[in-house]
Chains A and B, each alone.
Chain A
């Protein structure tokens, strides 16, 4: 049976208030973020504005500020915050025994949506 979750490594490899990337099929990337409270979130690494790499932004509270033009994106919903409108797919994450698991189907579907 296909596993539902993909283990992508220990939480300790994520910098607090930072992110790392996971390349997947088709050259796209998933960005995995860690907040100050230690919660972990994953978004498609592509800003709804002009595809800026969100993984390189500044993480604060539960949002990330895009490095290209400073849009703020919610890590919880993928929605652009404030005046800006747009949304990036969220990939489910769970932590099990200190390891990061991401939703397999969503990861791939989310990327399909972006690649299209």
Chain B
């Protein structure tokens, strides 16, 4: 079975699986050994890392980019993405308040299906698609239930593993207790755009400094897990059910307006008792850079923005800033 790789949460894995491909949503890493992109200054390191990692794998069935990010939309035009692997750009509308954009998204999913069929995929009938949609829904429910049974890092890595290959095995150690002698760890929300692989170290850094990440609201975390599907709709019109939980329900900064993101954050911050926010953004990512100050003003909590500028690890300066921040908020 050929693998179709992507990084955007608005690509429905079920649809790819239903066409007979293995959906693989990756969290890329910065690899300085890879050939340089050749693009001039101004390219987001996340977009660059995703492209580099995807085009380096010649066994892939296809690579999907989306319009959620302007640079991701444009990369397939460049020689950086020159590869024998077929590329597809999925148009994910930024607006969401009208029926016509929901229809546009659905039509784009159908277009993706036709693309997959040109690669040897088979158009699924409703029964098969419904079965896959409901199976994913069941497994996502199981995934969500793991949150209280593992550490924050383990849970976020579990989400990443699920998106990578649908894996749900629970082979992690039980959650560790509070750090420090009797100290209650400060509940922190990790927010912002998508993480690179080394950003999982942030969980440990926060924990070592006396905090605990109680909410992963990044573009690779809980925020991007589609909510439960309408099971009746899934049986009657599985494509509509898919479009609803992906396009209709995942909150993100790029939506216009992006008020749903704040509604989701408000609910989750309250439920998890968030007391401070660690905000991750990539250099040149306009969408999440513009949101940083707004979110800081909105939440009224201690707020630290860290910028990811193309390093393959959390650098010393960032480490020091996080440690100082944790000292202040503890």
Do A and B assemble together? no
Binding site for B on A (CB under 8 A): none
Binding site for A on B (CB under 8 A): none
